[in-house]
Amino acid sequence: MSYVAITLAARPELREHAIADSDIWPEFNLQGATYRRLWPRLTEDLPAFQFSMCDEQTGEVVAEAHTVPCWWDGTVDGLSAGIDATMADAFDRLDADKPVNTLCAIAARGSPGWPWDWSGR
């Protein structure tokens, strides 16, 4: 099998084939204020930074990566306090047209049952 990475900006219809959030996140994550407010904006406002790994022959989505452009000064002290802080800062920067210099992975997941399904680990 061979796979190809495709952004949602290139193929917006892949949103319809996305791996369900409930297949990867614990329930408490799905109820968080930051998740509820900002997660939908990943695909709406930053589709060029959301990736689907697709089976080249069938087109099936077998893995996804969600990322945000952000600012990092390159130091350990400059790292954010976590996913919520990173997402909030990324969208604050987007909304205020502030510069970014780093791409941060927020989540990467394989489809349930695939060899790279990390949801149970």
More confident residue, 16 or 29: 16
Residue 118 has pLDDT above 60, yes or no: no
Residue 37 has pLDDT above 80, yes or no: yes
CB contact at 8 A, 71 and 102: yes
Q: Tokens 């790994």, residue?
A: 53
Average pLDDT, the chain: 88
The single-letter code of the amino acid at 25 is W
For residues 114 and 70, what is the distance between their CA atoms, to the nearest angstrom?
A: 30
Largest CA distance in the chain: 45
pLDDT value at residue 121 = 45
Instruction: Give residue 85's pLDDT band: very low, low, confident or very high (50, 70, 90).
Output: very high
More confident residue, 54 or 1: 54
Q: Which two tokens stand for residue 60?
A: 């099936």
